[in-house]
A and B are shown apart, each in its own frame.
Chain A
Amino acid sequence: MSIETISLSGRKKVVSNKEMTFFERMYLIAIVKGLMITIKHLFTRKVTIQYPEQVREMSPVYRGQHQLKRDEQGRENCTACGLCALSCPAEAITMKAEERKPDEKHLYREEKYASIYEINMLRCIFCGLCEEACPKDAIYLTTSKVLVPSSYEREDFIFGKDRLVMPLDIAMQNAQLKNAN
Chain B
Amino acid sequence: MKVTIDGQEIEVEAGTTILQAARMIGGESVPPAMCYYSKLKGSGGKCRCCLVEVAKGSDADPRPMPKLMASCVTGCMDGMEVNSKQSDRVREARQSVTEFLLINHPLDCPVCDQAGECDLQDLSFEHGKSKTRFIEEKRTFEPEDIGPNIQLHMNRCILCQRCVQVADQLTDNRVHGVMDRGDHANISTCISKAIDNEFSGNMIDVCPVGALTDKTFRFKSRVWFNKPYNAHRECTTPGCCGKTTVWMFGDEIQRVTGRKDVYHEVEEFICNSCRFEHKDPSDWVIEGPREFDKDSVINQNNYTQKLDTVHIATEEGILKGREQDRKKISMPAIPLDKEQEEIFKKGNL
Chain A contacts to B: CB under 8 angstroms: 2-4, 8, 79-83, 85-86, 91, 97-99, 110-112, 135-136
Contact = CB atoms under 8 A, between A and B. Distances in A.
Interface string B326-349: 000000000000000000001111
Given A110-B111, A135-B110, A81 B222 contact: yes
Given A81-B115, A86-B224, A112-B111, A98 B219 contact: yes
A3 B320 contact: yes
B276 interface: no
Contact of B319 (A3, A81, A82, A91): A3
Contacts of A110: 108, 110-111
Nearest to A82: B222
Contact of B225 (A3, A79, A82, A112): A82
Nearest to B218: A99
Given A3-B320, A99-B218, A81 B111 contact: yes
17 contacts: A2-B346, A3-B320, A3-B347, A4-B319, A8-B319, A81-B110, A82-B225, A86-B224, A91-B301, A97-B219, A98-B219, A99-B219, A111-B108, A111-B111, A135-B109, A135-B110, A136-B110
Nearest to A135: B110
Contact of B348 (A2, A86, A112, A136): A2
Nearest to B224: A86
Contacts of A85: 225
Contacts of B297: 86
A168 B332 CA distance: 70
SS class of chain B's interface: helix, strand, loop or mixed? loop
Contacts of B115: 81
Interface residues of B, number: 21
A145 to B, nearest CB: 31
SS class of chain A's interface: helix, strand, loop or mixed? loop
A50 B297 CA distance: 51
Interface of B: 108-111, 115, 218-222, 224-225, 297, 300-301, 319-320, 346-349
Which of A2, A91, A98 gathers most chain B CB within 10 Å?
A2
B300 A86 contact: yes
A97 B225 CA distance: 12
B219 A82 contact: no
Contacts of A3: 319-320, 347-349
A94 B3 CA distance: 51
A135 B224 CA distance: 17
A101 to B, nearest CB: 12
A81 B109 contact: yes
Given A3-B347, A4-B319, A97 B220 contact: yes
Contacts of A91: 301
A8 B109 CA distance: 53
Given A85-B225, A86-B224, A135-B110, 5 more contacts: A3-B319, A81-B111, A82-B224, A91-B301, A97-B220
A78 to B, nearest CB: 9
A98 to B, nearest CB: 7
A91 B218 CA distance: 24
A81 B348 CA distance: 56
A10 to B, nearest CB: 15
Contacts of A135: 109-110
Nearest to A5: B348
A25 to B, nearest CB: 39
A80 B222 CA distance: 9
A136 B108 CA distance: 10
A98 B218 CA distance: 9
A120 B17 CA distance: 53
A150 to B, nearest CB: 30
B49 to A, nearest CB: 24
Contacts of A136: 110
A173 B320 CA distance: 64
A59 B49 CA distance: 47
